[in-house]
Amino acid sequence: MKNYFILLELPGGKELKFTIGNKSPKNFWRNAIRAIRKGRANLICRRQDTGISEALRSYMTGANRFTTFMLTNLKMNSHESRDKKAILNKTVQSISDMERETVIDTNKNFQLVTCDDKP
């Protein structure tokens, strides 16, 4: 099993923006799980290194509305890492086991959030 960083774009706009205290809006994670399960989340990038920021920056050059990105860290074998459905299923499991949410970065055009699994 190897460690992969996964970057997803969640559907929705400013209604998903975390509050000033960096707390998620009501039902944010439940709706994120639903969107991921239905295949409505866009898989932007999967990498084994920390180059996610370059992928995000490149992707954001064409953005014209507020967007929420979710970064997660998953352990997968190489076969799973090439299977979008497996990645999305593991992401849902990660959210379901969430203990803490964190806003990594935010501005007027986007927010980048993550959640930590229970140990």
pLDDT tens-digit profile of 39-68? 999 999 999 987 888 888 888 877 788 999
Predicted confidence at residue 119, as pLDDT, reads 56
> In the structure, what pLDDT confidence band is assigned to residue 118 with cuts at 50, 70 and 90?
low
Give Dmax (Cα) for the chain.
Answer: 40
Mean pLDDT of the region 67-88: 93
Q: Write down the pTM of the prediction.
A: 0.90
Predicted confidence at residue 55, as pLDDT, reads 85
* CA–CA dist 53, 71 (Å, integer): 10
pLDDT tens-digit map of 26-47: 999 999 999 999 999 999 999 9
Nearest alpha-carbon partner for 68 in 6, 12, 5: 12
